[in-house]
Amino acid sequence: MLEFIRQPWPWYVAGPLIGLTVPALLILGNKSFGISSSLRHICASCIPANIPFFKYNWKKETWNLVFVAGILIGGFAAMQFLADPNPIRVNPKLVKELSGYGIHDYSSLVPKEIMNADALLTLRGFILMVAGGFLVGFGTRYAGGCTSGHAIMGLSTLQWPSLVATMCFMAGGMLMANFLLPFILSL
């Protein structure tokens, strides 16, 4: 059984399992799926400031914090007990392209040449980690939710703003991957 769980699951198994969280949350408690709102709940519970954005009954959303804690615990458990001992497989075409940018280490999910403490002090690392993180956070707040909330929950409940947001996420991802990322990696 453990060997079955260790293997990557195909999209036609994992996708429906993720998709089933939507009706489960709606049926079990009329709850909406989304991760980005949990940061607001954490701030509202931990920061006793007089900021209007954080003044609401965050205790009603405790389930969301438990859900996020489960994701963190599940990720840690998977990393500790279910990690694949084999090296990460990268498409040979991608290896060839990335080697042109000086990226050769694929021992983790993110190449160490661009995501480490030393790289943070370079222009390329600053753009990827700090500016990129800011844009993700700003975009999530501006769009009123993250990709999981809009693409999984919003689309399944036929919300027009979620369709627009998901199309923008996809367009932005394609623009970034095909045009901006190669430019940033060449810095």
DSSP structural state of residue 63 = H
Quick one: CA torsion of 15, 20, 22, 25, rounded to 10 degrees?
A: -140
Tens digits of residue pLDDT in 84-100:
778 888 899 999 999 99
Tens digits of residue pLDDT in 104-121:
988 887 888 888 889 889
CA distance 141 to 162: 13
Q: Where are the alpha helices (DSSP H) in 88-128?
A: 92-99, 123-125
So what's the pLDDT on residue 145?
87
So what's the pLDDT on residue 78?
87
So what's the pLDDT on residue 99?
92
Residue 2 has pLDDT above 90, yes or no: no
CA distance 35 to 64: 8
So what's the pLDDT on residue 126?
92
**The pTM is what?**
0.77
Residue 167 has pLDDT above 80, yes or no: yes
DSSP structural state of residue 10 = P
Residue 176 has pLDDT above 90, yes or no: yes
Tens digits of residue pLDDT in 32-52:
877 888 888 888 888 877 888
Q: Do the Cβ atoms of 6 and 78 come closer than 8 Å?
A: no
Of 6-10, 32-36, 76-80, which one has max mean pLDDT? 76-80
If we measure between CA atoms, which residue out of 35, 18, 60, 30 comes closest to residue 149? 35
If we measure between CA atoms, which residue out of 144, 120, 142 comes closest to residue 132? 120
- Residues 176-185 as b/e (b if ≥16 CB within 10 A, e otherwise) read eeeeeeeebb
So what's the pLDDT on residue 33?
78
Q: What φ, ψ does residue 65 adopt, rounded to 5°?
A: -65, -40
CA distance 29 to 12: 27
So what's the pLDDT on residue 44?
87
So what's the pLDDT on residue 79?
86
Domain boundaries, the chain: 1-83, 114-187
Measured distance between the N- and C-terminal CA atoms of the chain, rounded to whole angstroms: 47
So what's the pLDDT on residue 181?
92
CA distance 30 to 22: 10
DSSP structural state of residue 87 = P
